[in-house]
Amino acid sequence: MLGMLLERMGPIVDKFCTVLAQLFLFNTVHRLFFADGVGNISSLTEVDAFMHSIVNGSVQVPHPSIVSHFKTDNEYDDKVLKCESYSCSFASPASFFLPENVHMAFFRFIKPPKNRALKGIIIMLPHTGDEWYDHRKKMMRDLVEDGYAVIITMAPLYGTRRGPKQNLHFVRSVELFVKAAAAAALETAAIVKWVHKTYPSIKACVAGVSYGGALAAYTACIIHDPISIVSVVGSDSGCSWLSGPLATQIAWSAFGRERESVRKELFSIFSTRSVSNMVSHRSPTPLHNAVCVTAIDDVFINKNDSDLLYDALRRISHTKVVRVAGGHITSVFLNPARIVVPSIKSAITAF
């Protein structure tokens, strides 16, 4: 009953959570996105050219050299699971356009107990502000119990990879925001290559919620081997940041000019680097198997952005769209086992 009530109050809950976050974080210009403004946008030309070459297949994402260490993990080393957990790292294939302290990529690799057959490997990408591993470990526990291995990535400019002078997850410029998304897709594609080489007979899935859902779709654009993709309440581009609750997380005053002028510039920057734009640079052949989940009353991600993402995935994947009741928060984050886990299982088993 409570769940149904929250679903019906989706837009209200979304907006309330935004206000609550602002109060909790005591937002100043340094606890908002883009405190340094646009940044060096001209430097994105090289990044764009490189990403387009990856998308059209003329350049390949390199196989990573993974270094792993066994790590005790209280979340999964209990009496029930007795899982194997590894802390892993590799040189980011995007290091040439990232700050020096971000050149190494990290992820946690959690394998189910040895007495259970490995059903698949899930690469779980972070949502906005999900800098570490704990939240996704809890979200994925049901999958690990069921025999799936889970790889939980640390995004560029998150956690120990924060940029210089960066406060929490608030990336300091539009330039770095765009570079971080491209780097996350490249690193995820590299991990997929490692998974396919190390576990050739095991199905793999790239999944994410919100920002992670957008990154999962972005990654699909640069992977040329079949894989399962799950994008839950993701957006086609950063344009959803420019209206609705997300707009309150931008340091508009840092740009030094009228907000509408800034909004138009950012819209141009984000839309030209959208998932749908990336897809236009590759052959429109359905290669992957995808599940795209959208929330009916989502006020964070507007319907146009959701539809653009679905249409983009449909060009390169056999895509199923699932529309769920509730808002951005109530549809997924309050009960991820109801939406996220079944969507992942559906995508990977249908592949």
- Spell out the domains of the chain, with CATH numbers in brackets: 2-349 (3.40.50.1820)
Is the pLDDT confidence value at 247 over 60? yes
pTM attached to this predicted model: 0.90
Give the amino acid at 121: I
Q: What percent of the chain has pLDDT over 90?
A: 65
Residue pLDDT, tens place only, 260-293 = 999 999 999 999 999 999 999 888 788 899 999 9
pLDDT in the model for residue 330: 76
pLDDT in the model for residue 137: 86
Q: b/e per residue, 201-238, with b = 16+ CB within 10 A?
A: eebbbbbbbbbbbbbbbbbbbbbbeebbbbbbbbbbbb
Confidence of residue 103 (pLDDT cuts 50, 70, 90): very high
CA-to-CA separations, 28 to 230, 283, 336, in angstroms, rounded: 34, 45, 31
Q: What percent of the chain has pLDDT over 70?
A: 87
Least confident range from 4-8, 106-110, 230-234, 282-286: namely 4-8
CA 336 to chain centre: 15
pLDDT in the model for residue 76: 60
Is the pLDDT confidence value at 25 over 50? no
Residue pLDDT, tens place only, 195-238 = 999 999 999 999 999 999 999 999 999 999 999 999 999 999 99
Is the pLDDT confidence value at 67 over 50? yes
Least confident range from 23-27, 172-176, 203-207: namely 23-27
Higher pLDDT, 81 or 18: 81
Higher pLDDT, 158 or 10: 158
Is the pLDDT confidence value at 15 over 80? no
Residue pLDDT, tens place only, 86-101 = 999 999 999 999 999 9
Mean pLDDT in the chain? 87
Tell me the three-class secondary structure of the chain, residue by residue. CHHHHHHHCHHHHHHHHHHHHHHHHCCCHHHCECCCCCCCHHHHHHHHHHHHHHHCCCCCCCCCCCEEEECCCCCCCCCCCCCEEEEEEEECCCHHHCCHHHCEEEEEEEECCCCCCCCEEEEEECCCCCCCCHHHHHHCHHHHHCCEEEEEEECCCCHHHCCCCCECCECCCHHHHHHHHHHHHHHHHHHHHHHHHHCCCCCEEEEEECHHHHHHHHHHHHCCCCCEEEEECCCCCHHHHHCHHHHHHECHHHHCCCHHHHHHHHHHHHHCCCHHHHHCCCCCCCCEEEEEEEECCCCCCCHHHHHHHHHHHHHHEEEEEEEECCCCHHHHHCCHHHHHHHHHHHHHHCC
Angle subtended at Cα 154 by Cα 148 and Cα 157, rounded to the nearest 5 degrees: 160
Confidence of residue 12 (pLDDT cuts 50, 70, 90): low
Is the pLDDT confidence value at 3 over 70? no
Is the pLDDT confidence value at 8 over 80? no
